[in-house]
Amino acid sequence: MSRSWHVWQNRVRVAETPLGKGVFALRRFRKEQVVGVVQGKVVEDADYGSLYCMDLGGIRSLEPIEPFRYMNHSCDPNCELFNWDYGDQDTNPPTQLFVAALRTIQPGEEITIDYAWDASAAIPCLCQSQHCRGWIVDPIYLEEVRSYHQQLNTALVSGRS
């Protein structure tokens, strides 16, 4: 078991979803309440990347451990990540992130965050929320991604004619 699991085992659980594993609430969380702490290995490498890594700023990433490693994306998330500001980020950089509820979360509800990826990392979204953008991407890059794929589709169709 992970070192944080004993603290959060009565708050959340990892379970299967149609797209893999996810994190689910075992109790009710109020808006702005801390749901949990994302802990793991801090990696100081600007080129580091994995399926689960989270940006800590600069060249630092967090490779999270269970359970919050399995938080899925939603274009209409019920949680967000944040870190406490302990002063100078150079002398006291964050080593963990916190998960906070954006609205009331009921027991059994999946805990989701908006991955808000850069345009270069955008992939089609399968969240099926009413507000789905169609892409896992930061909303500020959405039009750029849509335009790029529209041009790509046009080029592919033109190439077949």
Q: What is the Cα–Cα distance from 32 to 65, expressed in whole angstroms?
A: 23
- Given a cut of 60, whether residue 6 has pLDDT beyond it is no
Who has greater pLDDT, 73 or 87? 73
Give yes or no for residue 96 having a pLDDT over 70: yes
User: What are the boundaries of each domain within the chain?
Assistant: 5-114, 117-161
Task: Read off the pTM.
Answer: 0.85
Task: Answer left, alpha or beta for residue 97, where phi above 0 means left and psi between -120 and 50 means alpha.
Answer: beta
pLDDT at 41 over 80: yes
Task: Kindly calculate the radius of gyration of the chain based on its CA atoms and give it in whole angstroms.
Answer: 18
pLDDT exceeds 80 at position 89: no
Fold exhibited by the domain 5-114:
Beta-clip-like (2.170.270)
C-beta of residue 53 within 8 angstroms of C-beta of residue 16: no
What pLDDT, on a 0 to 100 scale, did the predictor assign at position 159? Answer: 67
Residue 8 confidence (pLDDT) = 64
CB distance 31 to 101 below 8 Å: yes
Q: What is the 3-state secondary structure (H, E, C) of the chain?
A: CCCCHHHHCCCEEEEEECCEEEEEECCCECCCCEEEEECEEEEECCCCCCCCCEEEECCEEEEECCCHHHCEECCCCCEEEECCCCCCCCCCCCCCEEEEECCCECCCCEEEECCCCCHHHCEECCCCCCCCCCEECCHHHHHHHHHHHHHHHHHHHHHHC
Q: In this predicted structure, what is the pLDDT of residue 85?
A: 67
| Cβ pair 64, 37 in contact under 8 A | no
> What is the pLDDT averaged over residues 57-70?
93
